[in-house]
A and B are shown apart, each in its own frame.
Chain A
């Protein structure tokens, strides 16, 4: 049985087993869903936006019913939602809470800003070495261009 809870978010949809991604930067919410390919899976997915957050104003939140995201999947979102937390739910309870963390290498998510980079000339999966995680600084494995801030362009 779902526990009694006055939490508004929870009342929207309590899940028994699955994953809750919380504290997503509001604007990045759909991008996160997109990166995780949530639209192609079988699981029920609830996407919330404009939810009241604690400090940083409004936040986004995604609940995935019946699937535990792997660390690898979760870390893909670190670039766009560096403050997100990932809660693993089992038996209606949060059994694990992790901060997202940039992996050492980011694959396929970022487009290289260098128009002369081979990844912009041919179909090649992009790869970037993570030099710095916050604020993120990446170096293209191919053309070796270093990017940070607004120069990090998501695909």
Chain B
């Protein structure tokens, strides 16, 4: 179980029981008034790679709990510009705070920071590797909108090759009894290594290129952005983007269940039509808001205050 002093580095470190622990504390954070819980505690945010929403969400979580926030500043203006090593920076900052939320472009940076800091480090993204608080808020959203995680069929569509949020969520769902359906163009297919891991965990999964025919099976559809940089040829990009664009007409053609809920880590750039926004299918704005109670839960658990 997640305990006082622990760090939150990778979703791999969590089993289903520990995930449930975080989700239930998050639910309580949303229900109850906790504005004095973190009085006297300081969160340091070290975001050495651009991110507005995740950082704001961490700050909001700490402030709502009555704690204080110190910001390390971005890469441009911090001492990193002068060549300070990550290890040295962590040693210094850990003297100024009780917990660190860190985003860094190098994979494994948060794991290293946690070894050095002597206080809890929460990974807010380490390069292409992990972003566990995103995964927790995704899981929290699924649980909240469907009442459970076990027994659901969860579809993923978009860039499944490079999408770190997809990989982490798929890993996390493998701890539960879920069917997983991966829909993407062949060039952006889910990595074979991840499928092997799912197999070893006994997960039932499908891989498909056809979104319409997958729709009717799904309880949750998790959309991600298809980025232009992934394509050498811009015509190929436009064609692919069009084939995986989600709108109301496509849901109807696919025979979507009434209970289907659509998620997206945001920001979107056209792969998700605004004509879905006011339908009961859309839960992506709620999903973004869920980042706050989930981060409140993680902060209070690692500081032994829940």
Contact = CB atoms under 8 A, between A and B. Distances in A.
- Looking at chain A's contact residues, the main secondary structure is loop
A8 interface: no
Given A144-B12, A144-B107, 8 more contacts: A116-B128, A118-B109, A122-B112, A142-B108, A142-B112, A143-B108, A143-B129, A145-B107
Interface string A117-155: 111011010000000000000001111111000000000
Interface in B123-155: 126-130
B267 interface: no
Interface of A: 114, 116-119, 121-122, 124, 140-146
A141 B111 contact: yes
Contacts of B96: none
B95 interface: no
B193 A116 contact: no
B231 interface: no
B214 to A, nearest CB: 28
Given A117-B107, A118-B108, A118-B111, A144 B129 contact: yes
Interface of B: 10, 12, 85-87, 105-109, 111-112, 126-130, 193
Contacts of B86: 118, 121-122
Contacts of A116: 105-107, 127-128
Contacts of B87: 122
Contacts of B108: 117-119, 140-144
Nearest to A124: B112
Nearest to A139: B12
Contact of B85 (A122, A141, A143, A145): A122
Nearest to B191: A146
